[in-house]
Amino acid sequence: MYPHLFSEINIQGLNLKNRLTMAPLYLGYAGEGGTVSPMLLEHYRLMARSGVALVVVENATVDHPAGSGSNRTLRADTDDNLEGLKTLAAAIHQEGALACLQLNHAGRFAHAGGQPLAPSAVQTFNYMPKALEIKEIEGIIGCFAKAAARAKAAGFDMVELHGGTGYLLASFVSPHTNRRNDAYGGDATRRQRFGLEVVAQVKAAIGGMPVGYRLLADEWLPEGLHLEESRPFARSLEKAGIAYISVMGGTYESFSLPLIVERSKQEGYMLDLAAAIRAEVKVPVIAAGRLATGAFVEKALAEGKADLIGLARVLWSDPQWPQKVRDGREEEIVHCDPGCGDACTQMVMKGRPALCVRWPAEKMKAWKEKYR
Ligand SMILES: Cc1cc2nc3c(=O)[nH]c(=O)nc-3n(C[C@H](O)[C@H](O)[C@H](O)COP(=O)(O)O)c2cc1C
Q: pLDDT (tens digit, 9 = 90+) per residue, 329-354?
A: 999 999 999 999 999 999 999 988 99
Query: What does 114-166 look like in DSSP terms, one character per residue?
Result: S--EESS---BTTB-PEEPPHHHHHHHHHHHHHHHHHHHHHT-SEEEEEE-BT
Specify if 4 maps to a domain.
no
How big, in percent rounded to 5, are the helix, strand and coil portions of the chain?
A: 40, 15, 45
Which residues are CB-contacts of 187 (< 8 A; sequence separation ≥ 6)? none
191 lines ligand 1 (CB under 6 A): no
Specify if 161 maps to a domain.
yes
Specify if 155 maps to a domain.
yes
Specify if 297 maps to a domain.
yes
Instruction: Please name the residue whose Cα sits nearest to atom 14 of ligand 1.
Output: 25
As for how many domains the chain has, the answer is 1
Q: Which atom of ligand 1 is nearest to the CA of 69?
A: 8
Q: Is 194 helix (H, G, I), strand (E, B) or coil?
A: helix
Which is it for the CA torsion 100, 104, 109, 111, positive or negative? positive
**How sure is the predictor about 372, in pLDDT bands with cuts at 50, 70 and 90?**
confident
Q: Which atom of ligand 1 is nearest to the CA of 345?
A: 1
Q: Which of 34-43, 241-250, 327-336, 343-352 shows the lowest per-residue confidence on average (mean pLDDT)?
A: 343-352
Residue to mutate (ligand 1; options 25, 40, 266, 318; most atoms within 8 A of CB): 25
Residue 50 maps to which CATH number? 3.20.20.70
Q: What is the rounded average pLDDT of the residues 182-196? A: 97
Percentage of the chain with pLDDT > 70?
100
Specify if 3 maps to a domain.
no
Specify if 1 maps to a domain.
no
Q: Annotated active-site positions, please?
A: 167
Which range of residues forms the domain containing residue 44? 9-371
pTM exceeding the 0.85 threshold for the entire prediction: yes
Each residue of 106-146: pLDDT tens digit?
A: 999 999 988 999 999 999 999 999 999 999 999 999 999 99
Cα→Cα distances 221→190, 227, 303, Å: 21, 12, 28
Each residue of 270-292: pLDDT tens digit?
A: 999 999 999 999 999 999 999 99
Integer Cα distance of 370 and 372 in angstroms: 6
Instruction: Please name the residue whose Cα sits nearest to atom 15 of ligand 1.
Output: 25
d(CA 311, ligand 1 centre) in Å: 9
**How sure is the predictor about 1, in pLDDT bands with cuts at 50, 70 and 90?**
confident
**How sure is the predictor about 170, in pLDDT bands with cuts at 50, 70 and 90?**
very high
